[in-house]
Structure 1
């Protein structure tokens, strides 16, 4: 199943001819999505090219739909033998397991055993019987790490890095730019965005949050992203199918194997893209109150829209968030 992900956050342009001339943007299709890097000088292009090469390399390692990737090899050898992986893959899985523990499994990288049953391109939804047969294979605590090897002890277990890989990639791309001496840049891996410093004039990068029931250009909130912070959005409008009046989307609750209910959009804001990506998923699954409490305890803020269109902004996000209007929710 080839995955297609739409751009869920839109960078808001700020008027001013002088600054527009000082910003450059390079966009490529990487990690199965649209990636844009915004930077301030033509001489920085080699650094930007290296950042894109880094993202392309990570894609070859993490893509669970590519049978030759390291993640796929780990999945193919579940219940058979530990698989030696690169430092990057080992680091990603180690980070994912740590976040799984911190979220008590609301984010669980082994959800692939059930999440990969869904095919939103073909509009295929697994039966309850199929889901129940796979639920016993979900459980981050089962994963074994040894030296540079990863082992899934049960045949049929699957790692799905979809809820962390893009945020991790944004962090890594910013690391590359920083190592080249850049002071101001913005990396947007679809809805996972990481800032390097501020805009050139010292103001915050302004990031729009898409209306979860509006068109692709409809923005209901703006976040003034602090220097070196990240923002990630998870929504039930990214990949979904409506069947018998019910919306089935790609954010799967590891506890039930079913799409999480109650929320339709979660934006998580904080210092690290790896965390904002995975925490947005965890908050979506836990629900507003429990999810917000968790995010705030870890030093991250959230902007949440529930299935009635109510918008909630957590304390750590209040000072940097502008709500433009309340999304209107109609239908499933």
Structure 2
């Protein structure tokens, strides 16, 4: 299989925009089965755009270019709408409005934002707060956006004070009026750890509504696929190497350490390599532990979760990177979903079902064992 041939166009588009950092947030997708198993009536159509501050690709299988165009546009319209609602960097977004009115009054929001908040709180509860959407005050202290060349660390006192504003239990949802209220002044929402997975879910539903029988939506490292090729084969997805030998390689296909098959499900990957800086030989990354206010130090460097829906995979992978391998595997088992966990010494832990559903492509990564999963 010539991976270079399959992903070459997508990589070329990224290079033209000089956004290698965006690529490093991607799970590289290569649709092997669909590419070679479509009927003569169906063809694969793909388009990439930049939305939600990252690189997105929608791939559909369609009998005509016109039908594909309608479906792809519908998918991107849904992603764009959610970007406007959920972007905490935009003062005009619904999420920003909720944060501005913290401790003052509830804010009426769209059906989509309310739906996501309900799902988000569900993830917060099952992860015992490891995933907390009120982490924004602490995250801001770390300044991962616009990080200076010579970074300084936030003080312990600043982190301690910001942590007082982190508590998902102080989010009040009123379904009847579709309103969200943060109970304490100074609280803020950041849905960056779950919004992309949710957007992929919504895009898939919009594409299905246009009569498309198979599609793959990739928003950075959050991927949702449905349908199979005429031959009955699943989509094949590559997982980013968290410790590539050449970090500025112009050969992205060499930065995949494993591949998995995706069938009517979603996959999301969180890692300590996506946004980080080095100081005094230590890596500081953007996944903050809500208990400590510091980047998680669980011994995991990459977590991929395979779940029925994108929002679930997106939220849980972040939580597991914080919880660590033992608690993370127990969480996966309890919820009947699958995962691939990579430790700092390049050992791979997987749920039982993943044993026959993944291929390790780099010899330096070794399987550490399996657990019972879904």
Could you state the TM-score of these two structures normalised by the residue count of structure 2?
A: 0.83
Per-residue CA deviations over 1:273-305 (Å, capped at 9, x if unaligned) read: 110000000111100111111022112111111
Per-residue CA deviations over 1:146-192 (Å, capped at 9, x if unaligned) read: 23111111111111101100000000000011111111110001110
| Deviation of 1:322 (Å) | 1.2
Per-residue CA deviations over 1:194-253 (Å, capped at 9, x if unaligned) read: 002123432110100111011454111110112x10000001111101011111111111
Runs of 4+ aligned residues of structure 1 deviating over 4 Å after TM superposition are 15-21
Contact 2:325 2:341 in 1 (8 A): yes
Corresponding position: 1:55 with 2:76: no
- Hey, what does 1:81 align to over in structure 2? 105
Q: Which one of 272, 295, 302 corresponds to residue 236 of structure 1?
A: 272
Contact 1:178 1:196 in 2 (8 A): no
Corresponding position: 1:145 with 2:173: yes
- Hey, what does 1:32 align to over in structure 2? 53
- Hey, what does 2:115 align to over in structure 1? 91
In 1, the alpha carbon distance for the partners of 2:69 and 2:108 equals: 34
| Deviation of 1:19 (Å) | 4.9
Q: Which segments of 5 or more consecutive residues in structure 2 lack a partner in the other structure?
A: 1-20, 366-374
| Deviation of 1:321 (Å) | 1.2
In 1, the alpha carbon distance for the partners of 2:26 and 2:77 equals: 23
In 2, the alpha carbon distance for the partners of 1:252 and 1:203 equals: 38
Alignment of 1:68-217 (within 5 A): 68-120=92-144, 121-123=146-148, 124=151, 125-146=153-174, 147-214=177-244, 215=247, 216-217=252-253
Contact 1:309 1:326 in 2 (8 A): no
Q: Which one of 91, 94, 99 corresponds to residue 67 of structure 1?
A: 91
- Hey, what does 2:371 align to over in structure 1? none
- Hey, what does 1:275 align to over in structure 2? 312
SS of aligned partner of 2:257: strand
Cα RMSD of the aligned pairs, angstroms, is 1.9
SS of aligned partner of 1:64: coil
In 1, the alpha carbon distance for the partners of 2:235 and 2:22 equals: 23
Question: Which structure would you say has the larger Rg?
Answer: 2
Corresponding position: 1:245 with 2:315: no
Contact 1:268 1:303 in 2 (8 A): yes
Q: Which one of 309, 320, 324 corresponds to residue 361 of structure 2?
A: 324
The count of aligned residue pairs is 325
- Hey, what does 1:263 align to over in structure 2? 300
